[in-house]
Amino acid sequence: MSDYKAPLRDMRFVLNEVFEVSRLWARLPGLTEVIDEETAAAILEEAGKISAEVVAPLNRGSDEQGCTWNNGAVKAPDGFGAAYQAFAEGGWVGVGGDPQFGGMGMPKAISAQVEEMVNSASLSFGLYPMLTAGACLSINAHASEELKERYLPNLYAGTWTGSMCLTEAHAGTDLGLIRSRAEPQADGSFKISGSKIFITGGEHDLTENIVHLVLARLPDAPAGPKGISLFLVPKVLVNDDGSLGERNALSCGSIEHKMGIKASATCVMNFDGATGWIIDEPNKGLAAMFTMMNYERLGVGIQGLALGERSYQNAVEYARERLQSRAPSGAQHQDKAADPIIVHPDVRRMLLTMKALNEGGRAFSSYVALQLDTVRYSDDAATCSRARQLVSLLTPVAKAFLTDMGLETTVHGQQIFGGHGYIREWGQEQLVRDVRITQIYEGTNGIQSLDLAGRKIVGSGGALYRLFADEIHQFTASASAELGEFTQPLNAAVDTLDELTAWLLDRAQGNPNEIGAASVEYLQVFGYTAYAYMWALMANAASGKQAEDDFYAGKLGTARFYFARLLPRIHSLSASVKAGSESLYELDAAHF
């Protein structure tokens, strides 16, 4: 495996040249004094260093070793403790956290790039600070001032970590089925009882305390999702003076034996009358939890991008060095026994697919992050409302499409290595195993597709979609004639998506199965079209600069590849959508 190198040049290009973030930051109260282009560059540079020099070297060894469980105690792989301490001391756990409680206060557009770098270095490692940041979001938005003051500083500092305890063995996506219960106590606390599964970072030895956010039901709670409350339940109770007290009545029953992310502790957590405190109002737990869902789902999408980037870096280095056969047009390196495999059309197809999907994904994830920043910091009601609607529309696309493309990209990277890609020593097979979970957790990609097609498209009568499509048309209408090679196929793709959206809205009125039958392919068409918009924006930023810098020439060449070889996938996907739901129900259950 090659050494990881943070893609800082591309990150700066996306932020500064494509989206001109400094102009946006200047318009958002709360950011003008916090971040500028120079500060952003310094932060990303340092994040790249710790990711490449401290975290990345642990990736393969920690996968081989994994986490271990012994009588309720979980030990992280060798080196993780020291690396996490270095990561925390750098302030990286709280990079997007509230400065009032010790966070760095950076916008999501910056923390998104940090997340990519850390997860490229090691997804297993990156999950610990990611879950902590998610817990902090919910606590900061919904907890009492007392709870915020008691827990947030240590969470942002990385002295403690956080976990999100949602899933139960019988209740995965359908959280309305959970059975964990919370009994009120005279002192205002609650006794939490129940078992949770698939809890990332539920137990480990990286920090002295773990703060669990647990979904549970009060005794008089109504049935279903409207009867769920959220509770803060620390592993170790915290005294009034902030010191640690007694161990709480909770334990790790086991850890999962997984396909990938083996250095991340995925735990079964048992709460046996553990002391906890309610966050927000009774029966409002899902609302409090969903405060962080848009951030977390974008974060999972970025994980897919991150592993695709790592796979690409490995694959392109290998393709430049591996000698195998001669180029179809004749020998390119007469002094060698064979040519590097990068001369072969199929290898170039795979490399360009990886490059186009990674760079398109980086631009798209940054675009969604900028909408989150606008929602958080804008003081203009109309601007904030528009950004909130775009976040609602695009979050399921970011989670599902980025991770679907992450799997495709890592598989291409493995394929380029041939037989070497199938064995552990080269690292490519680990990336395929690790990225696979991103399509499953934080809501499977089928659920994300149903959310997009059902809630966001049909649920809004197409209004949310129109908001995004109109923005693309405004861009293409104002673009120069020189960009026609990109804007014309982009307009055609939007026309295809317009037609598909109208078809879905029409068919959903008469057949409830149509939404679910169409949803996955619909999201894919949406994703490829959104990436086409990103590539048109990047081509616009690179146009006219290709002679002065190979970076821009590479951008334009990759944009041409995307429009020529990847965007046309929308036509077969659209045909699948329009085939309807009837063929899915031809068979009775007994016929399968």
Q: What is the pLDDT of residue 1?
A: 63
Annotated active-site residue in 168, 442, 514, 521? 442
Q: What is the pLDDT of residue 289?
A: 85
Output the pTM of the full model: 0.97
Grouping H, G, I as helix, E, B as strand and the rest as coil, residue 333 is coil
Q: How far apart are CA 328 and CA 437, in angstroms?
A: 39
Q: What is the pLDDT of residue 412?
A: 98
For the record, the structure tokens of 521 come out as: 């392919």
Place of tokens 């209740």: 171
Q: How far apart are CA 136 and CA 525, in angstroms?
A: 34
Any idea of the CA torsion for 100, 102, 107, 110, to the nearest 10 degrees? 170
Would you list the DSSP string of 415-448?
HHTGGGGGSGGGSHHHHHHHHHGGGTSSS-HHHH
- What number does CATH give the domain 8-290? 2.40.110.20
Give Cβ neighbours of residue 84 (< 8 Å, ≥ 6 apart).
Answer: 125, 128, 158, 206, 207
Strands 209-216 vs 160-165: parallel, antiparallel or unpaired: parallel
Strands 190-200 vs 181-184: parallel, antiparallel or unpaired: antiparallel
Sign, Cα dihedral of 167, 168, 173, 176: negative
Domain boundaries, the chain: 8-290, 292-439, 444-583
Check if 45 is active-site.
Answer: no
Identical fold, 8-290 and 292-439: no
Query: H/E/C letters for each residue in 155-173?
Result: HHHCCEEEEEECCECCECC
Q: What is the enclosing helix (H) or strand (E) of 68?
A: strand 68-70
What is the mean pLDDT, run by run of 10 residues, along the chain of 592 residues? 91 98 91 91 98 98 98 98 97 96 96 98 98 95 97 98 94 84 98 97 98 97 93 97 97 98 98 97 90 88 98 98 93 91 97 98 98 95 97 98 98 98 96 98 96 98 98 97 97 98 96 96 98 98 93 98 98 97 94 94
Q: Which residues pair with 231 in a beta bridge?
A: 214, 278
Q: What is the pLDDT of residue 292?
A: 79
435 and 306 Cβ atoms separated by less than 8 Å? no
238 and 223 Cβ atoms separated by less than 8 Å? no
Q: How far apart are CA 399 and CA 365, in angstroms?
A: 9
Q: How far does CA 213 lie from the centroid of its chain?
A: 20
Q: What is the pLDDT of residue 281?
A: 93
Strands 190-200 vs 209-216: parallel, antiparallel or unpaired: unpaired
Which amino acid belongs to residue 233? V
| Class of the CATH-defined domain 292-439 | mainly alpha
Q: What is the pLDDT of residue 456?
A: 98
Q: What is the enclosing helix (H) or strand (E) of 556?
A: helix 550-561
Please choose, from the candidates 366, 452, 360, the residue with its C-alpha nearest in 3D space to the C-alpha of residue 409. 360
